Structure 1
Amino acid sequence: MAPPHGHARHGAHTTGPTRRSLLAGVAAVGALGAAGCSRVATASTENGGDLLDRLRAQGVVRLGIAGEIPFGYIDKNGELTGEAPELARVIFKRLGVDKVQPVPTEFGSLIPGLNSQQFDVVAAGMYVNPERCAQVIFADPDYQMLDSFIVRKGNPKGLHTYRDIVAKKAKFATGTGYAEIQYAVEAGYEESDILIVPDQVAGLNAVETGRVDVFAGTAVTVRDVVKKSSKAEATKPFAPLVKGKPHVDGGAFAFRRTETTLRDAFNAELHKLKKSGELLRILRPFGFTRAEMTDLTAKELCGG
């Protein structure tokens, strides 16, 4: 299977469904059959839940993924990989759970699937925002994400921010359902003038052929797609403005609201990895750099 190349992280600031909710990165029915369709056993909801104890007894944790490179996907060899699954392998092993098992689904089905106990944890690099915090609990972010542009080599129009795009009347493109749509509109770009393309590969093509001057996406995916281009380059990552203030998103693992014991144990191991520098080593193969490392907390991003 070939998961899509979009990066949803997830648009807390758009009014409709956003990039992640529109991605269906796997053949969900078939893959669910392979992973097992039965729901996990009902957990105790008292004293922070008993899911961690049950996972240790079972020796396996089910991960909800959305088939999105580089966050969580099945590779060409049929193996589970991505920044979130690889991080899950390390942390859950430290917690006494040796195996991880993928349960692929559409991004928009991750939170409903988690809360209906179809899997144990969401491992899809999901952006933390107040709307989601009302439905699930998050670990602290394992990465932060800025935006970046694909522009022609040398960046002839000098495009570094959404305001630059507006001021220089540049032809602008971004992906279907991307949060970048709203960032551009907030900067003053007419939404009806935005060229919407399927993903960053199509965005690169649009820039290379001169259909547009700039394509906006997340820094990690933009960096990846321009690697082999001789006609285009990525701009320096930057924080888009939301309500006039720089905004940085953070992606994290999600848990059912009753499972605070598991979330807290996961968080403790995550912070050890951050402190030691091992987190960057785990995420680096998927295109993450020091710029994506973060001390943001779930509490901050949940607005509390």
Structure 2
Amino acid sequence: MAPPQGNNDAQDAGIRRPSRRSLLTSASALGAVGALGAAGCSRVATASATEGGDLLDRLKAQGVVRLGIAGEIPFGYIDRNGELTGEAPELAKVIFKRLGVDRVQPVPTEFGSLIPGLNSQQFDVVSAGMYINPERCEQVIFSDPDYRMLDAFIVRKGNPKDLHDYRDVVGKKAKFATGTGYAEIQYAVEAGYKESDILIVPDQVAGLNAVEAGRVDVFAGTALTVREVVKKSGRTESTKPFAPLVKGKPHVDGGGFAFRPTETKLRDAFNSELAKMKASGELFRILKPFGFTKAEMTDMTAKELCRG
């Protein structure tokens, strides 16, 4: 999107926002997408057994690549004008054009259906800014990340409980919420929060509402989505970004594109173009209108993130 849109724009677009950063799988629905949603009903051709895959050749011949998206601002969604946008689709448009594929076609689905949908041939690539983690790396192969991301909290104005990380949430016995399948569930549990006590809500908008209504003291999400969603709220604020602790060490997430495990040739060609865009600064210029800062650019690799 350009520029970043807030809470009301997403509602106008009929979008519920999940977290593409989810550790497991997250729920996200694309409301009024009309005929675009029908694209998810058809399937792409069965993957070839050719070593490295032949999907790139087939996409060039077809002239179109199907992108699995999950309706999450700012990562991949349909805007108020019915147009596909978001940091991942806009990046995909550029890279696939350079790979000889002129058009991208969105296939909206729930976040939790992205990896199953990819592996069952419903679309060609996951273009949703998906976090790269060891669990997912067992099911798909990833491009190198195009961004990195820290966590942040939605809290009431003035942060009355002085909450800045998961240890604070546990130590001060704060009422805690996060989204369905979000990575933040595991981060809170690792800090000592009882999983059964976590309020699970559909997305960051619902999390904002829960904090505003006093149902919880804090909602955890990605720094980018948290700071965007509180912009039009007079009763809440976002905390400073922080790295959650995983096995006692600060952990930084990174998001990228997912491909079927057989399609290493396509993944490698994609990575080659992505590396050029990182080196030239073009990647940042594409992501900046969606709220990304230079602090969220990264040289991490998928291999590093897959190791956990």
**TM-score (ref. length: structure 1):** 0.88
CA distance in 2, matches of 1:79, 1:28: 9
Counterpart check, 1:7 vs 2:11:
no
What are the Cα deviations for residues 47-73 of structure 1, in whole angstroms up to 9, with x where unaligned? 422221222222111111122222211
8 Å contact from structure 1 (residues 26, 105) kept in 2? no
Match of 1:24 in 2: 29
CA distance in 2, matches of 1:103, 1:176: 21
> Paired residues, what number?
296
Match of 2:195 in 1: 191
SS in structure 2 opposite 1:184?
Answer: helix
177 and 117 in structure 1: CA distance in 2 versus 1, 3 angstrom threshold:
closer
8 Å contact from structure 2 (residues 20, 128) kept in 1? no
Percent identity, please.
80
What are the Cα deviations for residues 86-123 of structure 1, in whole angstroms up to 9, with x where unaligned? 11001111111111011122222222222222221111
105 and 195 in structure 1: CA distance in 2 versus 1, 3 angstrom threshold:
closer
Q: Offset of 1:4 from its aligned partner?
A: 0.9
Match of 1:15 in 2: none
207 and 113 in structure 1: CA distance in 2 versus 1, 3 angstrom threshold:
closer
Counterpart check, 1:134 vs 2:146:
no
Match of 1:107 in 2: 111
CA distance in 2, matches of 1:179, 1:282: 26
166 and 42 in structure 1: CA distance in 2 versus 1, 3 angstrom threshold:
closer
8 Å contact from structure 1 (residues 25, 66) kept in 2? yes
SS in structure 2 opposite 1:22?
Answer: coil
CA distance in 1, matches of 2:138, 2:201: 31
CA distance in 1, matches of 2:200, 2:294: 30
8 Å contact from structure 2 (residues 126, 257) kept in 1? yes
Q: Offset of 1:268 from its aligned partner?
A: 0.6
RMSD between superposed Cα atoms in Å: 2.2
Counterpart check, 1:95 vs 2:81:
no
Q: AA paired with 2:293? A: T
SS in structure 2 opposite 1:140?
Answer: coil
CA distance in 2, matches of 1:36, 1:243: 39
Match of 1:163 in 2: 167
8 Å contact from structure 2 (residues 28, 202) kept in 1? no
SS in structure 2 opposite 1:250?
Answer: strand
SS in structure 1 opposite 2:188?
Answer: helix
Q: Offset of 1:26 from its aligned partner?
A: 4.7
CA distance in 2, matches of 1:232, 1:265: 43
Q: 2:75 aligns with which of 55, 71, 79?
A: 71
Q: AA paired with 1:232? A: T
Match of 2:300 in 1: 296
Unaligned runs of 5+ in 2: 1-12
What are the Cα deviations for residues 121-158 of structure 1, in whole angstroms up to 9, with x where unaligned? 11111121222222221110111121101123332332
43 and 178 in structure 1: CA distance in 2 versus 1, 3 angstrom threshold:
closer
162 and 121 in structure 1: CA distance in 2 versus 1, 3 angstrom threshold:
same
107 and 196 in structure 1: CA distance in 2 versus 1, 3 angstrom threshold:
closer
Unaligned runs of 5+ in 1: 12-17
8 Å contact from structure 1 (residues 280, 290) kept in 2? yes
Q: Offset of 1:28 from its aligned partner?
A: 8.6
Q: 1:212 aligns with which of 211, 216, 221?
A: 216
SS in structure 2 opposite 1:21?
Answer: coil
8 Å contact from structure 1 (residues 144, 293) kept in 2? yes
Counterpart check, 1:125 vs 2:129:
yes
Q: Offset of 1:252 from its aligned partner?
A: 1.0
Q: AA paired with 2:15? A: P
User: 242-251 or 88-97, which moves further after superposition?
Assistant: 242-251
Q: Offset of 1:30 from its aligned partner?
A: 5.7
CA distance in 2, matches of 1:45, 1:280: 36
